[in-house]
Amino acid sequence: MKQLLSAGVAGLVLVVAVALSQQAPKNPDSNTSALKIQSEDRNPWTNLRLNNAPEDFQFAIVSDRTGGHREKIFSKAIEQLNLMQPEFVLSVGDLIPGYSKDREKVLDQWKEFQGFTSKLQMPFFYVPGNHDVTNEEQEKIWQEKFGRRYYSFNYKGVLFLILNSDDPSESSKMSEAQVKWAKQVLAENVEARWTIISFHKPIWTGDNEKNGWGEIEKTLAGRNYTVFCGHVHRYQKYVRNGMNYYQLATTGGGSRLRGVRYGEFDHIVWVTMKKPGPVLANIMLDGILPENLQLPETHEPVTVLDRKATHPARGFVYLEGVAAAGATVGFHLKEAGKKAPRFLGDAVVEGDGSFLVSSYAAFDGLPAGDYAVTVNFDGRYGPVGEKKGLMPVKYTKADTTPLTATVKSGTNEFTLDVRADAMTDVPVEKK
């Protein structure tokens, strides 16, 4: 009887083992050793191939904090990062207000910022932005506090290349020494399964033959890599040489916050490194909340800017009588004693030709005054396809456009009718 019972138990174990092997086939990319579960002929799950390959890891990227930074955004993002629990946090620069040669003032700014990062439960990797290394004094302070302004590290076979896009300060370049160093690091890490590159300015949109990036980019040929930057405070994805380049929005920096349509939002980027490459998720800060739905209060005072009152400004744009959908309409304030009008607000033209202008905040209108008005299919806020370059050149520049507008107190409505063959001034019609 005991022998029969033992045989029955052994048979049951064998059946369970067979069922488990059917549900969780051998997969070198999945670690199931920690999973203890009883499997039967039919089971209430899809499979047991856990999404936990040993080489996988997750990290977060924060974007610009400064450049018109807003109160209590970055400081609360620190609390939100602790909720998310990445393995580490990477930045893209512009961490302090900067733009000062007052040593004590700059030191106080770094003291404040490091007070935020000291609360993180994981490492924070610094990247210099133009606000951080504006001048020789700020470069000196960076050296005293952090040492290198460009560096690298390797984690689980992924090379992280941290560069300085203002070397020397305010140059939008990478020095010859930095380029030489970067090429050497890449040569020493040819076996890296992926390369993550972070720097502040999207200098690839400039003269790559002169700014140093072109030479580094050539060295990157043939390897898998992804580039992250900030500076513009507007999210945009580029594809160069088959690789993805991401210009991030903000994590507290100045923004009109017009949303995804304009690429203007506060976020972190959540990166999951998988064997095929990084998987990105843009996580809006207002969607990261603790279990009680209340983030703790933080202290992050900002300078209140003295801005002129704005008045609603909207209208329609037509090109040859057809709605100029996708075009960007810009308003440039004419100021006495100034040679060129100053950009102050813009909008994307919708499918019906309508637009709603923003200056300082989402759709707040414009200050009163006289404006030069530009219209351009520049793709600033999204792809324009075959329309790119369609607008006559004179309408795309503030100093040559014949379009004008006067904004007064109250609601302002305008109609812009652009003719491709028009050679005379075309005034804006106010309804």
* CA–CA gap between residue 240 and residue 214 (Å, rounded): 11
- Is 159 in the same domain as 257? yes
290, part of any domain: no
307, part of any domain: no
Question: For residue 341, which amino acid is it?
Answer: P
More confident residue, 174 or 386: 174
388, 364 Cβ separation under 8 angstroms: no
Find all residues with CB under 8 Å of 12, minimum gap 6, and list them: none
Provide the token pair at 207. Answer: 């003269």
- Is 120 in the same domain as 239? yes
CA angle 379, 360, 410 (to 5 degrees): 105
51, part of any domain: no
For residue 261, pLDDT beyond 50: yes
- Is 74 in the same domain as 115? yes
For residue 349, pLDDT beyond 80: yes
Question: For residue 199, which amino acid is it?
Answer: F
For residue 7, pLDDT beyond 50: no
* CA–CA gap between residue 346 and residue 335 (Å, rounded): 18
What pLDDT does 207 receive? 97
- Is 188 in the same domain as 272? yes
Q: What is the mean pLDDT of residues 80-103?
A: 98
Q: Please name which of 143, 135, 130, 152 lies closest in space to residue 216, comparing C-alpha atoms.
A: 152
95, part of any domain: yes
Torsion angle in degrees (nearest 10) through CA of 305, 310, 312, 318: -80
Identify the CATH number of the domain in which residue 385 sits: 2.60.40.1120
- Is 26 in the same domain as 75? no
Percent of the chain with pLDDT over 70: 90
CA angle 151, 154, 159 (to 5 degrees): 80
Range of the domain at 1: 1-44
What pLDDT does 425 receive? 41
* CA–CA gap between residue 131 and residue 144 (Å, rounded): 17
* CA–CA gap between residue 417 and residue 316 (Å, rounded): 8
298, part of any domain: no
* SS3 category, 4: helix
Count of alpha carbons within 13 Å of 200, Cβ hemisphere only?
A: 29
- Is 377 in the same domain as 255? no
Domain count, the chain: 3
Find all residues with CB under 8 Å of 184, minimum gap 6, and list them: none
262, 350 Cβ separation under 8 angstroms: no
What pLDDT does 27 receive? 53
Of the pLDDT bands very low, low, confident and very high (cuts 50, 70, 90), residue 8 is very low
The 10 Å CB-count burial string (b at 16+, else e) for 386-419 is ebeebbbeebbebeebbbbbebeeeebebebbbe
- Is 261 in the same domain as 346? no
29, 274 Cβ separation under 8 angstroms: no
What pLDDT does 14 receive? 36
What pLDDT does 305 receive? 81
- Is 126 in the same domain as 33? no
* CA–CA gap between residue 98 and residue 108 (Å, rounded): 10
Number of residues in the chain: 431
- Is 182 in the same domain as 74? yes
**Domain end residue (candidates: 285, 303, 324):** 285
295, part of any domain: no
Please give the backbone phi and psi of residue 177, each rounded to the nearest 5 degrees, phi first.
-65, -40
Question: Which whole-number Å values give the CA distances from 146 to 110, 125, 140, 260, in the listed order?
Answer: 11, 10, 10, 35
301, part of any domain: no
- Is 127 in the same domain as 248? yes
For residue 398, pLDDT beyond 90: yes
420, part of any domain: yes
Q: What is the mean pLDDT of residues 264-276?
A: 98
pLDDT tens digit sequence for 18-73: 333 344 444 556 777 889 999 999 999 999 999 999 999 999 999 999 999 999 99
pLDDT tens digit sequence for 230-243: 999 999 999 999 99
- Is 393 in the same domain as 269? no
For residue 427, pLDDT beyond 50: no
For residue 426, pLDDT beyond 80: no
For residue 5, pLDDT beyond 60: no
The helix (H) or strand (E) run that includes residue 155 is strand 151-155
What pLDDT does 228 receive? 98
Which residue is it, tokens 């017009």?
Answer: 258
204, 251 Cβ separation under 8 angstroms: no
